[in-house]
Amino acid sequence: MFKVQIGEDFRKAFGFIAHPESAFESESNDTGYWPMLRFFIVLNILLAVLTPLVNWFHIPSDIVHAGTNAQMGAYVQAPLLEASTGISRYIWMAILTYLGNLLKFPLLGILFHGFSKVMRGTGTLNDSFKIAVYSTAPVLLLGWVPFFGLISGLWVGYLYVVGFWKLHDVSMGKAIALVNLLIGIQLVWAFVFGWIGSSVAW
């Protein structure tokens, strides 16, 4: 049964990547939190395992090669934790990537619900969490692929737009404006914290 559910999560992820409009519409009547939590837990494990494997080939987790802030932050912190604990930086990379995403995306759900109210959206808090979680499909599946990090991140932005449109009935114009703001903040954040072409020696 568990294997069937994992397979369902991967099929759902590909559905959000390939057909986001119909994928969000199919989730509009689901009021449960467990399906989206399981989706996120399973796919986040994939990203956390594959990211340090890519780093082992001396490919950095910066804004070009990594799809999430968690990967980029972990890439900077992992060598420091290795030096202080003696535990391999690759293990720390996996742990920090997983935990960073686990903490970030639930917070995004709450933040998105606030944005939806400001834009007079009609959806529920559950809908806001769906946007935050299911929109991560591109980065959780492909955010570890070298040279694809930035593309997968922008892909997430597109899913945000579709999600606000379909689940909160927010106009495309307002949703696009919000996502452009979020992308701008992300780029500033990456620049400030040195995630653009990381100089950390691995």
Upper half-sphere CA count for residue 160 (Cβ side, 13 Å): 28
Q: What integer pLDDT is reported at residue 38 of this predicted model?
A: 93
The torsion angles phi and psi of 55, rounded to 5 degrees, stand at -60, -30
Confidence of residue 183 (pLDDT cuts 50, 70, 90): confident
Does a structural domain hold residue 19?
no
Q: Is the pLDDT of residue 147 over 80?
A: yes
Task: Give the model's pLDDT for residue 195.
Answer: 54
In a domain, 165, yes or no: yes
What is the amino acid identity at position 103? L
Q: What is the pLDDT of residues 184-193, one digit of tens each?
A: 877 776 666 6
CA–CA dist 77, 129 (Å, integer): 28
Domain membership flag for residue 75? yes
66: CB partners within 8 A, 6+ apart: 51, 60, 72, 75, 143, 144, 149, 195
Domain that holds residue 93: 28-192
Could you tell me if residue 169 is inside a domain? yes
Residue 7 counted as domain residue:
no
Q: What DSSP string runs through the chain? A: -HHHHHHHHHHHHHHHHH-HHHHHHHTTT---SHHHHHHHHHHHHHHHHHHHHHHTTT---STTT-SSHHHHHHHHHHHHHHHHH-S-HHHHHHHHHHHHHHHHHHHHHHHHHHHHHHTT----HHHHHHHHHHTTHHHHHHTTSTT-HHHHHHHHHHHHHHHHHHHS---HHHHHHHHHHHHHHHHHHHHHTT-SS-----
Per residue in 159-180, pLDDT (tens digit) is: 999 999 999 999 999 999 998 8
Structure confidence at residue 194 (pLDDT) = 56
Instruction: Give the count of domains, the chain.
Output: 1
Residue 184 in any domain: the answer is yes
pLDDT band, very low/low/confident/very high, at 99 (cuts 50, 70, 90): very high
In a domain, 200, yes or no: no
pLDDT for the residue 158: 95
Average pLDDT score over the chain: 90
- What tens digit of pLDDT does each residue of 31-81 get? 889 999 999 999 999 999 999 999 999 999 988 899 998 999 999 999 999
- For the segment 97-126, the average pLDDT, to the nearest whole number, is 91
Structure tokens at 137: 């499909």
Report, as an integer, the average pLDDT of 135-148.
Answer: 94
Contact yes or no for 100/74 (Cβ under 8 A): yes
Question: Is 4 contained in some domain?
Answer: no
pTM here? 0.88
